[in-house]
Amino acid sequence: MVIPNFCGKQALNAWLAGHDIGVLLQGPDPDSPQPVMNGIVVAQEPPPGSRVKRWGTVTVWVRHDGGGSGVREPRRPAPPFGALRTELPGEPA
């Protein structure tokens, strides 16, 4: 099987694409409790274009970006339009 480039793909999508062509993706530590499902693939070994036997393994490294959507609102209100930073209560002058 010729290995495609999995870098830049969502880990789950890369795993599914690999499975569709007959290769298995695994993380750098196969005994890790976290499966290769979350994050973005940033590196792989063997490199794209290499050949492996059918159902051979491709090791991928995944970047995890935090953990979901999270809270996106500001921590404190922004200054009103036209206000100077020093006019806000509790701000050092």
Kindly state whether residue 57 falls inside one of the protein's structural domains: yes
pTM: 0.65
Tokens of 40: 């973005």
Kindly state whether residue 35 falls inside one of the protein's structural domains: yes
Kindly state whether residue 23 falls inside one of the protein's structural domains: yes
Distance between start and end Cα atoms, the chain: 66
Q: Is the pLDDT of residue 86 over 60?
A: no
Kindly state whether residue 48 falls inside one of the protein's structural domains: yes
- pLDDT tens digits along 74-85: 666 666 666 665
Kindly state whether residue 16 falls inside one of the protein's structural domains: yes
Q: Is the pLDDT of residue 42 over 60?
A: yes
Kindly state whether residue 80 falls inside one of the protein's structural domains: no
Dist CA 13 CA 40 (whole Å):
10
Q: Which domain holds residue 54?
A: 11-63
Domain count, the chain: 1
Dist CA 30 CA 55 (whole Å):
15
Kindly state whether residue 88 falls inside one of the protein's structural domains: no
